[in-house]
Amino acid sequence: MARGLARKILATGRVTESADGSAPSGEAIPDAASALRGSLQIRHVDAGSCNGCELEVASTFGPVYDAERFGVRLVASPRHADALLVTGPVTRNMAVPLAKTFEATPAPKVVIALGDCALGCGVFAEGYGVEGPVADIVPVDVEVPGCPPDPTTILKAMRRIVQQ
Considering the rule CB under 6 A, would residue 157 count as an interface residue with ligand SF4? no
Beta bridge partners of 69: none
3-state class (DSSP) for residue 72: strand
By CB under 6 A, what part of segment 108-147 binds ligand SF4?
Answer: 115-117, 122-123, 147
Is residue 88 within 8 Å of 130, Cβ to Cβ? no
Considering the rule CB under 6 A, would residue 53 count as an interface residue with ligand SF4? yes
Give the C-alpha separation, 91 to 125, whole Å.
11
Is residue 89 within 8 Å of 137, Cβ to Cβ? no
Give the C-alpha separation, 42 to 84, whole Å.
6
Considering the rule CB under 6 A, would residue 88 count as an interface residue with ligand SF4? yes
Neighbouring CB atoms inside 10 A of 24's CB total 14
Q: Which residue is nearest to ligand SF4 (CB)?
A: 52
> Among 45, 50, 94, 142, which residue interacts with ligand SF4 (rule: CB under 6 A)?
50
Give the C-alpha separation, 155 to 57, whole Å.
9
Contact region for ligand SF4 (CB under 6 A) — 2-10, 32-40, 44-52, 135-143?
44-52
Contact region for ligand SF4 (CB under 6 A) — 50-58, 71-79, 136-144, 154-162?
50-58
* Cβ nearer to ligand SF4, comparing 6 with 55: 55
Q: Point out which residues bind ligand SF4 (CB under 6 A).
A: 49-50, 52-53, 87-88, 115-117, 122-123, 147-148
